[in-house]
């Protein structure tokens, strides 16, 4: 009979309409900025420097391999020199990454022999200054090993196991941080 | 000759004059639409509400659209070289227009029924129109419907010929 | 008590008119030393009444237009398993205000080769009939803005004026797609105007008058539950109502008949070259036309402002109109767009014969005796059988054509 398909279609849409109020799984919208999509562990955004314990205890020895390998050349390193002897010390004095140039290729993290530079997952980095505002210096880039465990648990465990075998300057293997769960999504904003 | 009549006449005559003088054909058809609205206004002025609304419904809603389609589907949309003043074509046109105008003037002035004003307060009774159409004027009504049927059949025949030619 | 709420707006209007006349009397006493004459007072009262009605209709229905856009976005969103706008106000209610501000402040771009006068006049000419159509609908008891004897024909005549404006919009933009969209829009609107008028004819036949106030009065019973007399409960009224809804959807260029403004096909059809406030006027004219058609459907078939005396009469009218608008939005969320030849075929081959047969069925109903309950039941069954038989025959005819193998015609 003419109109049969129309009625079936109307029933389907009516069912969608009514169930969208009672069935929370139907609405797949993530209401940013109250909720955020939990990213998989392997997603990456921009590089950061890892330190163990205190920010002075950073893993980077200013070998400048990442500066050489970076394709758009966004890393700028200056080696620290001992003020009395003038000899180079194994720390960077200046470590700048220009996030507006960085193309997030992860090559710097791949080539670092000391597991000092790793990829972060933060993407909310918008700023108002296009030229100098995107240049992140050493203080801004330093993040702790606990933070690294938080965003990439499996990778951080593997790195810690490797480092503890080779006796470099590293703190004892860190126990998996107990009560630091990933960012909880805020309950969805109630809606009509 | 009160204000409403003067305004309505201005609108109607302006529409009619623009319809024949404008160079852009689409503008001419749109001024024809203005003319139809003016005529509908006259019907309302004469207390013939139903005929006025039907004038808008049929003329503006169908005939004007038909004219627009006809103009759209022809390619030459601007007028040809217009004849100058006092050429033979212009003089002939003015003479014929003057003759027709004089005949109409005398006919209307001499007819007593035409010089009455509209009877005020008489609402047009649609039921009366319907009744008259079915009793006194039923033969013209049927003849007109027969004419419309013939026109429709003619249009369909022409369209079918076109389809069969294209095959 | 019920009467107070029912006639609330009538009493309010009368009070305001009285205020204005008193103010006029005061002014004339100041300058001329005596109050206005009877004729002058009458003129002032009439003028104020007209201005009051116009301002009320514009204000109320402009607000309804904003709420209709909000309702449409939320309902479509929920049908499509997503939230609608929910940021701008509580539940996104102020979204239409934000949209209005956005459209007002946008740059008005006119194409360089466009026909300036036609391009400029089209939005105004499309909005005027949409607003004028509201003047013929009775909104409540004693609340009809005008009381014309020929209101139904006037409504359709005024609706025909907006088709011309669509063509002017398409032509004035001097754009291939605009002209194409405008021609399709005009063809669609004149094709569906015939079933629209023919769907309203049975109602006029039964009532015997073209006046909307009388049509509404003919559907009323004197009981508390004022529901029995509506024309939609009769077989011909139901068929007419369905026909009217479909034709009204096509007249307002709404999905599934929105070829003229198909957003994914012809960009925006006839209003593609309009930006800013002119586009807002087209948008407003479409929604106002939809609401006016819904109002006429309520008046002709759903009993106008009649309803159980729990709500005032104007509330019933608005509620029924709201339900029809919800139905239109539901239909938009359900159906894909009709192709233009399917659209025209549906109007001329399916709806027109059905509407004509509906008139015949109405005549049968009219002449069958309906004095006792048994006789009314028999009349109802006979008319319903006629209407259903016509529907089945037409649907069989349409389906047979739809399943036939396609004939391809190539340009030679």
Residue A189 clears pLDDT 60, i.e. is over it = no
pLDDT at C402: 64
User: Are C81 and A20 within 8 A, CB to CB?
Assistant: yes
Q: Is C76 in the same domain as C132?
A: no
Touch criterion met for A and C (3+ Cβ pairs within 8 Å) = yes
Neighbours of B (≥3 Cβ pairs closer than 8 A)?
Answer: C
Report the candidate in C135, C191, C186, C194 with the shortest Cα–Cα distance to residue C165. C186
For position A68, what pLDDT does the model report?
94
Whole-number Å distance between alpha carbons of A156 and A151: 9
In a domain, residue C410? The reply is no
Taking CA atoms, C360 is separated from B13, B134, C14, C244, in Å, by 44, 17, 45, 17
Task: Please say if the pLDDT value at position B71 is more than 90.
Answer: no
Q: Report pLDDT for C66.
A: 93
Give me the residue from C82, C394, C399 closest to A27, CB to CB: C82
Is residue C328 one of the residues assigned to a domain? yes
Identify whether the C-beta of residue A151 lies closer than 8 Å to the C-beta of residue A120. Answer: yes
Which of residues C105, C130, C152 is at a domain's end?
C105
User: How big is chain C by its Cα radius of gyration, in Å?
Assistant: 24
Our answer on whether B and C touch (3+ beta-carbon pairs < 8 Å) is yes
Same domain (yes/no): C87, C232: no
CA distances (Å), origin B60, targets B29, B147, C164 = 11, 21, 8
Say what the alpha-carbon torsion angle C115, C120, C125, C130 is, to the nearest 10 degrees: 130
Are C157 and B127 within 8 A, CB to CB?
no
Chain A residues lying within 8 Å of C349, measured CB to CB: none
> Is the distance from CB of C213 to CB of C147 less than 8 angstroms?
yes
Inter-chain contact A2–C391, Cβ cutoff 8 Å? yes
Residue C224 token pair: 């508390």
Q: Report which DSSP code applies to C349.
A: I
Asked whether the beta carbons of residue A191 and residue C330 sit closer than 8 angstroms, the reply is no
**C124, C163: one domain:** yes
**Taking CB atoms and an 8 Å limit, are A189 and C86 in contact across chains?**
yes
Across A62-71, A163-172, C72-81, least confident range: A163-172
Distance of alpha carbon C273 from alpha carbon C177, whole angstroms: 10
Chain A environment of C395 (Cβ under 8 Å): 1-3
CATH architecture of B1-82: Up-down Bundle (1.20)
Chain B residue closest in CA terms to C118: B27
* Banded pLDDT at A62 (limits 50, 70, 90): very high
Cβ of B60 within 8 Å of Cβ of C164? The answer is yes
Identify the band that residue A103 occupies on the pLDDT scale cut at 50, 70 and 90.
very high
Q: Extract the tokens encoding A180.
A: 């630091």
Last residue of a domain, one of C78, C105, C132: C105
Is the residue at C205 inside a domain?
yes
Average pLDDT over residues B31-50: 92
Same domain, residue pair C114 and C149: yes
Give chain C's domain count.
2
Is C386 in a helix, a strand, or coil? helix
Say what the pLDDT of residue C264 is: 54
- Structural domain harbouring C389: 110-399
Q: Which chain A residue is nearest to residue C80, measuring alpha carbons?
A: A16
Q: What are the Cα distances from residue B50, in Å, to A191, B55, C149, C175?
A: 52, 8, 8, 39
Quick one: which of A59, A79, A63, A73 has its CA closest to A102?
Answer: A73
pLDDT for the residue B75: 62
Residues C126 and C144 in one domain: yes
Q: Are residues C59 and C170 in the same domain?
A: no
The nearest CA of chain B is from the CA of C341 a distance in Å of 15
Using CA atoms, how far apart are residues B133 and C163, in angstroms rounded to an integer?
A: 30
Measure the CA dihedral C374/C380/C386/C389, to 10°. Answer: -100
**Residues C209 and C330 occupy one common structural domain:** yes
Distance from CA of C256 to the nearest CA of A (A): 11
* Residue A42 vs residues A155, A156, A163, B144: alpha-carbon distances, Å: 9, 12, 21, 81
Residue B44 has pLDDT above 60, yes or no: yes
Q: Quick check: A148 pLDDT over 70? A: yes
The whole-chain average pLDDT of chain A stands at: 85
Determine the pLDDT at residue A28: 84
Segment B34-51 shows an average pLDDT of 91
Whether residue C165 is found in the same domain as residue C140: yes
- Mean pLDDT over B111-118 rounds to 63
Is the peptide bond prior to C256 cis by the omega test (within 30 degrees of 0)?
A: yes
B53: nearest CB among C157, C163, C164: C157
Cα C81 → chain centroid: 29
Of C149, C156, C168, the CB nearest to B123: C149
d(Cα B101, Cα B46) in Å, to the nearest integer?
Answer: 23
Q: Are residues C119 and C191 in the same domain?
A: yes
- CA distances to B75, C71, C272, C316 from C141, in Å: 55, 27, 42, 11
Please list every residue in chain C whose beta carbon sits closer than 8 Å to the beta carbon of residue A29.
82-83
Do the beta carbons of residue C6 and residue C140 sit within 8 Å?
yes
**Do C42 and C70 belong to one domain?**
yes
Phi and psi at residue B55, to the nearest 5°: -60, -45
**Nearby residues of C250 by Cβ (< 8 Å), 6 or more positions away:** C188, C189, C191, C192, C257, C343, C347
Q: How far is B12 from chain C (nearest CA, A)?
A: 17
* Dist CA C216 CA C392 (whole Å): 31
Pairing of strands A117-119, A47-51: antiparallel
Torsions phi, psi for C344 (to 5 deg)? -65, -40
At C194, give phi and psi (nearest 5°): -70, -50
Among C71, C72, C74, C79, the residue to mutate for chain A (most A Cβ within 10 A):
C79
Q: What is the pTM of this model?
A: 0.84
Task: Find, in chain B, the residue whose alpha carbon is nearest to that of C116.
Answer: B27
Write down the pLDDT at residue B79.
Answer: 55
Give me the domains of chain A, ranges plus CATH numbers. 47-164 (3.30.70.3270)
Interface of C with B (CB under 8 A): 115, 117-118, 148-150, 153-154, 156-158, 160-161, 163-164, 167-168, 171, 179, 183, 186, 190, 193, 208-210, 409, 412
Q: Which residue of B has its CA nearest to C210?
A: B126
A148-153 long-range Cβ contacts below 8 angstroms, 24+ apart: A148/A50, A148/A118, A149/A174, A149/A176, A149/A177, A150/A177, A150/A180, A150/A182, A151/A41, A151/A120, A151/A121, A152/A41, A152/A118, A153/A41
pLDDT at res. C63? 93
Establish if C1 belongs to a structural domain. Answer: no
Q: pLDDT, tens digit, for every residue of B116-148?
A: 665 655 555 788 888 888 899 999 999 999 999
Among C105, C125, C153, the domain-final residue is: C105
Of B50, B56, B166, the CB nearest to C409: B166
Instruction: Clarify whether residues C240 and C290 are in a common domain.
Output: yes
Higher pLDDT, B80 or B58: B58
**Tens place of pLDDT per residue across chain C (412 aa):** 888 888 888 999 999 999 998 888 888 888 887 777 888 888 888 999 999 999 999 999 999 999 999 999 999 999 998 888 988 888 889 999 999 999 889 988 888 888 888 888 899 999 999 999 999 999 988 888 888 888 999 999 998 888 888 888 888 888 777 888 888 888 899 899 999 999 999 999 999 889 999 999 999 887 888 888 899 999 999 999 999 999 999 988 887 888 777 655 656 677 777 888 888 898 899 999 999 999 999 999 998 899 888 888 899 999 999 999 999 999 998 988 888 888 888 899 899 999 999 999 999 999 998 888 999 999 999 999 999 999 999 988 877 766 667 778 788 6
Surface-to-core class of residue A61, CB atoms within 10 Å of its CB (0-12 exposed, 13-18 middle, 19+ buried): middle
CB pairs B-C closer than 8 Å: 71
CB contact under 8 A, B30 and C158: no
| Ramachandran angles phi, psi of C245, nearest 5° | -65, -45
| Residue from the list B53, B64, B65 with its beta carbon closest to the beta carbon of C153 | B53
Whole-angstrom distance, CA of residue B24 vs CA of residue B99? 29
Provide CB contacts within 8 A for B63, sequence distance 6+. B36
- C296 and C314 both lie in a single domain: yes
Calpha distance C270→C31 (Å, rounded) = 55
Q: Is the pLDDT of residue A175 over 70?
A: no
């Amino acid at each position: 009979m003419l109109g049969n398909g129309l009625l079936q279609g109307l029933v389907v849409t009516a069912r969608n309409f009514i169930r969208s109020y009672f069935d929370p799984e139907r609405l797949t919208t993530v209401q940013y900025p109250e909720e955020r999509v939990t990213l998989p562990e392997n997603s990456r955004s921009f590089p950061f420097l890892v330190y163990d314990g205190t920010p002075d205890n950073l893993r980077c020895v200013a070998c400048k391999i990442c500066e050489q390998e970076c394709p758009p050349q966004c890393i700028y390193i200056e080696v620290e020199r001992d003020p009395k002897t003038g000899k180079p010390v194994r720390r960077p004095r200046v470590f700048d990454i220009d996030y507006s140039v960085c193309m997030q290729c992860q090559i710097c993290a791949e080539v670092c022999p000391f597991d000092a530079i790793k990829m972060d997952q933060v993407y909310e980095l918008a700023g108002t200054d296009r030229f100098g505002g995107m240049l992140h210096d050493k203080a801004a880039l330093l993040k702790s090993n606990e933070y690294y465990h938080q965003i990439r648990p499996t990778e951080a465990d593997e790195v810690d196991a490797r480092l503890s075998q080779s006796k470099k300057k590293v703190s004892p293997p860190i126990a998996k941080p107990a009560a630091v769960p990933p960012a909880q999504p805020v309950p969805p904003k109630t809606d009509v | 000759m009160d204000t409403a009549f003067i305004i309505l006449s201005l609108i109607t005559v302006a529409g009619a004059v623009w319809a024949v003088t404008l160079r852009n054909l689409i503008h001419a058809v749109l001024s024809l639409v203005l003319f139809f609205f003016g005529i509908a206004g006259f019907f309302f002025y004469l207390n013939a509400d139903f005929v006025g609304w039907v004038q808008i419904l049929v003329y503006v809603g169908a005939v004007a659209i038909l004219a627009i389609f006809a103009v759209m589907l022809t390619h030459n949309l601007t007028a040809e070289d217009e004849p100058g003043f006092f050429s033979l074509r212009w003089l002939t046109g003015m003479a014929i227009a003057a003759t027709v105008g004089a005949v109409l003037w005398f006919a209307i002035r001499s007819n007593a029924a035409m010089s009455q004003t509209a009877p005020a307060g008489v609402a047009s009774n649609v039921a009366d129109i319907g009744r008259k159409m079915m009793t006194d004027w039923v033969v013209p009504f049927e003849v007109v419907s027969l004419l419309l049927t013939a026109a429709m059949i003619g249009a369909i025949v022409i369209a079918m010929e076109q389809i069969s030619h294209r095959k | 008590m019920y009467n107070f709420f029912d006639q609330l707006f009538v009493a309010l209007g009368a009070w305001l008119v009285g205020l204005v006349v008193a103010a006029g009397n005061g002014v004339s006493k100041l300058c001329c030393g005596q109050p206005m004459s009877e004729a002058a007072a009458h003129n002032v009262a009439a003028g104020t009444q007209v201005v009051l009605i116009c301002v009320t209709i514009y204000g109320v229905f402009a607000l309804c237009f904003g709420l209709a856009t909000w309702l449409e976005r939320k309902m479509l969103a929920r049908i499509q398993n997503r939230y609608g706008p929910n940021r701008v106000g509580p539940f996104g209610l102020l979204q239409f205000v934000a949209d209005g501000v956005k459209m007002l402040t946008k740059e008005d771009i006119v194409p360089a080769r466009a026909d300036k006068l036609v391009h400029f006049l089209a939005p105004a000419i499309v909005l005027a009939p949409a607003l004028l159509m509201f003047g013929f609908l009775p909104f409540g008891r004693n609340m009809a803005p005008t009381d014309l004897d020929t209101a139904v024909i006037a409504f359709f005549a005024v609706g025909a004026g907006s088709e011309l404006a669509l063509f002017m919009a398409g032509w004035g933009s001097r754009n291939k797609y605009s002209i194409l969209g405008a021609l399709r829009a005009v063809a669609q609107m004149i094709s569906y105007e015939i079933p629209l008028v023919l769907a309203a004819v049975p109602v006029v036949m039964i009532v015997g008058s073209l006046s909307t106030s009388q049509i509404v009065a003919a559907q009323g019973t004197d009981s508390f539950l004022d529901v029995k007399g509506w024309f939609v409960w009769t077989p011909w009224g139901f068929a007419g109502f369905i026909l009217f809804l479909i034709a009204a959807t096509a007249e307002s260029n709404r999905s599934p008949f929105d070829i003229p403004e198909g957003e994914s096909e012809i960009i925006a059809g006839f209003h593609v070259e309009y930006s800013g406030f002119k586009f807002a006027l087209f948008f407003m004219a479409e929604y106002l036309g939809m609401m006016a058609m819904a109002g006429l459907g309520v008046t002709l078939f759903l009993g106008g402002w009649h309803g159980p005396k729990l709500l005032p009469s104007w509330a019933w009218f608005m509620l029924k109109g709201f339900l029809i608008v919800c139905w239109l939005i539901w239909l938009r969320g359900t159906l894909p767009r009709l192709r233009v030849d399917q659209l025209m075929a549906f109007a001329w081959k399916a709806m027109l014969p059905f509407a004509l047969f509906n008139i015949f069925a109405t005549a049968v109903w009219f002449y069958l005796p309906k004095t006792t309950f048994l006789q009314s039941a028999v009349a109802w069954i006979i008319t319903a059988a006629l209407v259903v038989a016509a529907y089945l025959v037409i649907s069989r005819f349409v389906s047979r054509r739809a399943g036939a193998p396609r004939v391809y015609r190539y340009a030679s």
